[in-house]
Amino acid sequence: MTTDYRFLKACRREQVDCTPVWMMRQAGRYLEEYRALRAQHSFLEMCRTPELAAEVTIQPLRRFELDAAIIFADILLPLPGMGIDLEFAQGEGPVIGNPVRSAADIDALRPLTPERDVPFLAEAIKMVRREIEGKVPLIGFSGAPFTLAAYVIEGGGSRNYVHTKRLMYGDPPAWHRFMEKMSDVVSVYLAYQIEAGAQVVQLFDSWVGTLGPADYREYVLPYSQRVIESIGGAVPVIHFGTDTATLLTSMKEAGGDVIGVDWRMDLGEAWALLGDDVGVQGNMDPVILYAPPEVIEAKVQAVLDGAAGRAGHIFNLGHGILPTTPVEHAKVMIDAVHRLSTR
Amino acid sequence: MTTDYRFLKACRREQVDCTPVWMMRQAGRYLEEYRALRAQHSFLEMCRTPELAAEVTIQPLRRFELDAAIIFADILLPLPGMGIDLEFAQGEGPVIGNPVRSAADIDALRPLTPERDVPFLAEAIKMVRREIEGKVPLIGFSGAPFTLAAYVIEGGGSRNYVHTKRLMYGDPPAWHRFMEKMSDVVSVYLAYQIEAGAQVVQLFDSWVGTLGPADYREYVLPYSQRVIESIGGAVPVIHFGTDTATLLTSMKEAGGDVIGVDWRMDLGEAWALLGDDVGVQGNMDPVILYAPPEVIEAKVQAVLDGAAGRAGHIFNLGHGILPTTPVEHAKVMIDAVHRLSTR
């Protein structure tokens, strides 16, 4: 039964009865039941307590007909084990106390030992698998080497990535050494999740769209490729980024069974560019969920029209669902995907 | 003599002796002589005092062999005359005290009367023209209707444009009425600058890259087109945006003699997409100016290679020069453009 999930079939580009759908950040602040738990625990505490992580992973499945669960975690969770001080400041997102700026900083980073550094994650994955077995598959994930490196170098989010690019352009040997370390950490981290029971993994290269195609190929592609090759086909890989209209074919070259596309590109054009030998995930603008239901349904139809019924489409938002999204609008979207795509 | 400027010839896609170059925000904080003046005056005070605006417009010309001046102003300067409270908070960029959120807010907006609302701008343009006559031409500019509307609706900068898109998707008639008003204001504002002596104008649709191509065509294109048509070929128009890889052909359809391209796209590919009947401006990543000189020169060469000597290339950064840029690196870039492109 578990191999027959609609979601996994789409990952393998097999025919499905209707298009599978999930939402990035579907376990999150737009749900009042999530906010109620979050009021009692810090974000990292929730990630590191298997019972809490499992509970919020499952919350959205109680409300919506989602086709996959994604383990509750953060793309930056591999970092503390490397010796990086990670905190989540109130309303400000991740803050890194000891940003990496020099070759010496890079050399001081430790490899990840998942059993020591992220044992809670394997436990949470196992708990969720037991609860959802036979219903939907479970996605594991990590930040991709570039996106992790950018956070670690900048010390948090960034607009222009000045420190990151300064290292990349100014000291390429240090950059490449850093990215090698990051690739190894991400590979080990994903393998650990797969071993624990993740049935698909998504590699989030969320901020790679700050680079042009030549820089992507020189400074990023080999490392994302190394991570994806390390998985060796054990489970399907979704390779995701935003702002990647000019990077898509290079991202495909780096690897992935399914390439994530954001809303800035027409889905049909993206797929034409990528070719039919890969799946596509996306690509509705998360902000459309603030629009009236009839607009949401029209936009769902437009995305499905772009996919044109091809095998290998996974419906998703182009980026994570926003915290102030009306929850009933998420349901409108999810139900519309299934209804409007029924073969 | 004035019609023979290298910059204007490139705008008309005529052959030039070498590629013209300027930098967005070339009159700005990366220059110590700018910071010295700025320490004594608020940003808006500098915009509104013709002597100060003229002085900082000319400052970068004293340091670099730039091929154009751009009048010191802000893309949001047409707003206060419409009844919008605009301030620049310390280090936070523009803040709008009375953001527009409803149809009633939109109806209350006034048309622009430049002689009353922005007379300082015409004066500054005339002062600069007198000083630079025979040396380089002067660019005038405005925010494009979408980018202005987004600032006005959000109340400042934004990451996700939730309020903007909520109005756009939720109340299309109000959106279209708002954009009509904005187009009229921008048209009048640019005409006033041209009458005062601006020899080229640039339309900054800086944040339009938050939209996909279908939304751009429905909600934005007609209004940018209306503005550009209103200029009626009086001066060349540069039509600029960032994150526009999937919007370029639609931006060309909206109009402009030269289309701005950011660093996320290979310049040669952008031009192939746009066709040879339009000029292209760009497209070096501003962050490359933090790299060592030899890297800057290699990246200049890569952009020039993309242009492949075609008539109609104006070299620029893909977005404004950043405040902490080493000033001598700007000189490295500008000199390299001329040296490496000499026919």
pLDDT in tens, B282-336: 999 999 999 999 999 999 999 999 999 999 999 999 999 999 999 999 999 999 9
Instruction: Please state the rounded mean pLDDT for residues B72-95.
Output: 93
Torsions phi, psi for A317 (to 5 deg): -75, 160
Chain A residues touching residue B211 (CB < 8 angstroms) = 264
Task: Please give the Cα distance from B314 to B12 (Å, whole number).
Answer: 11
Report residue B2's pLDDT band, with 50, 70 and 90 as the boundaries: low
Q: Closest approach of chain A CAs to the CA of B161, in angstroms? A: 8
B91: confidence class by pLDDT, cuts 50, 70, 90: confident
* Beta strand residue intervals within B101-167, DSSP E: 138-143
Please indicate whether residue A62 is annotated as part of the active site: no
Terminal alpha carbon distance of chain B: 21
What's the rounded Cα separation, in Å, for the pair B178 and B153? 10
Question: pLDDT (tens digit, 9 = 90+) per residue, A307-342?
Answer: 999 999 999 999 999 999 999 999 999 999 999 999
Mean pLDDT, chain B, rounded, equals: 97
Q: How confident is the model at residue B59 (pLDDT cuts 50, 70, 90)?
A: very high
* Average pLDDT of the residues in A248-270: 98
In this complex, which of B170, B209, B322 lies closest to A264 when CB atoms are compared? B209
Q: For B287, which of A162, A286, A290 is closest by C-beta distance?
A: A162
pLDDT at A188 (0 to 100): 98
CA distance A166 to A101: 9
Question: What are the chain A neighbours of B272 within 8 Å (beta carbons)?
Answer: none
Residue A285 is a catalytic residue: no
Categorize the per-residue pLDDT at B123 as very low, low, confident or very high, splitting at 50, 70 and 90. very high
Question: Which residue, among B29, B264, B265, B319, would best test binding to A if mutated, counting the most A CBs under 10 Å from its CB?
Answer: B264
A232: left (phi over 0), alpha (psi -120 to 50) or beta: left
pLDDT value of residue A92: 75
Residues of A in contact with B213 (CB under 8 A): 265-266
Percent of chain B with pLDDT over 90: 97
Residues 6+ apart with CB under 8 A from B313: B10, B19, B267, B279, B280, B281, B304, B307
Mean pLDDT across the stretch A235-253?
98
> With pLDDT > 70 as the criterion, what percentage of chain A qualifies?
99
CB contact under 8 A, A212 and B286: no
| Cβ atoms B148, B76 nearer than 8 A | yes
The Cα–Cα gap between A330 and A327 comes to 5
Q: Would the pTM of this model clear 0.90, i.e. be above it?
A: yes
The stretch A74-96 carries a mean pLDDT of 92
Q: A30-51: per-residue pLDDT in tens?
A: 999 999 999 999 999 999 999 9
Contact between B117 and B185 (Cβ < 8 Å): no
Q: A41-57+68-124+133-260: what fold? A: TIM Barrel (3.20.20)
Q: Work out the average pLDDT over B40-64.
A: 97
A122 CB-contact burial (10 Å; exposed 0-12 / middle 13-18 / buried 19+): buried
Which residues are CB-neighbours of A4 under 8 A, at least 6 positions away?
Answer: none
Partner-chain contact A162 B290, CB within 8 Å: yes
**Active-site position among A5, A30, A34, A151:** A151
Backbone Cα Rg of chain B: 19
Q: How far apart are CA B265 and CA B267, in angstroms?
A: 6
What is B11-28 written as a DSSP string?
HTT---SS--B--TT-SS
Widest Cα–Cα separation across chain A? 57
Note the residue count of chain A. Answer: 343
Give pLDDT tens digits for B230-242.
Answer: 999 999 999 999 9
| SS3 category, A63 | helix
Can you tell me the mean pLDDT for B40-60?
97
Residue A2: what pLDDT?
A: 53
Split at pLDDT 50, 70, 90, the class of B89 is confident
Is A25 considered catalytic here?
Answer: yes
pLDDT in tens, B200-232: 999 999 999 999 999 999 999 999 999 999 999
Q: Where are the domains of chain A?
A: 1-26+267-343, 41-57+68-124+133-260
What pLDDT score was predicted for residue A42?
Answer: 95
Local confidence band at B343 (pLDDT 50, 70, 90 cut-offs): confident
**Which residues from B are below 8 Å from A286, CB to CB?**
160
Is B110 part of the annotated catalytic residue set? no
Per-residue confidence (pLDDT) for residue B90, from 0 to 100: 79
Q: Which residue of A has its CA nearest to B270?
A: A246
Contact residues, chain B, for A162 at CB < 8 Å: 287, 290, 322, 324
Query: Would you state the pLDDT for residue B1?
Result: 47
The H or E element spanning position A203 is strand A200-205
Q: How many CB pairs under 8 A join A and B?
A: 98
CA A240, CA A262: separation in Å to the nearest integer?
A: 9
- Annotated catalytic residue, options A12, A29, A217, A264: A29
Model ipTM value: 0.95
Which of B6, B13, B30, B74 is the catalytic position? B74
- At residue A3, does pLDDT exceed 70? no
What lies within 8 Å, CB to CB, of A307 at 6+ separation is A19, A267, A268, A271, A280, A313
Task: Give dist(CA B162, CA B122) in Å, integer.
Answer: 35
Closest CA to A186 of A109, A129, A260: A109
Smallest CA-to-CA distance from A123 within A185, A29, A47, A237 is with A47
